[in-house]
Amino acid sequence: MTSQETQTEGGRRRVTLPPSTPDKDTPSKKGSDEPNRISHTEFQKRVTSDRSDEAVFSCQFEVFGIVQGVSFRMYTLRRAQKLGVRGWCKNTNENTVKGEIQAHRHSFESMRLWLKHTGSPTSRIDKCIFSETTELAEFTFTNFTIVVD
């Protein structure tokens, strides 16, 4: 493969490589070595569909610390949507955020870890307390929502 050098402003050189083409003697990498790539939308369809036989886990939570305002609730909503978690959250008069989450095992555990350790970059969570985890036959919420009093 050869390159072509071109002069640019300021005396810098930019090297332009021709598009790579596989040699006739080199076998193609297509096949079992290369994974099949799918779009994020297709992945979400596969993850959320045909899971009716899996258990749904549910628990309530309360987050303590500087969590009032829109940012923590919005970050929680976005994370829940990304993970496919259902439930709700709201600010309380005690300056905490309460809520409930429902999801299949992997998404449920991922959301619990996120609430406990990450949260919003601006929230400065002191601690997060979870109620007992219960197993449900099916979801009781259709999505994740922010409850406004």
- Just list the catalytic residues: 73, 91
Query: Residue 127: is it exposed, middle or buried by C-beta count within 10 angstroms (0-12/13-18/19+)?
Result: exposed
Q: Which of 137, 125, 56, 55 is nearest to 97 (CA)?
A: 125
Helices (H), the chain: 40-48, 70-83, 105-113
Amino acid of residue 137: A
* First vs last C-alpha separation in the chain: 67
**Tokens 């429902």 map to which residue?**
102
Q: What is the DSSP letter of 121?
A: T
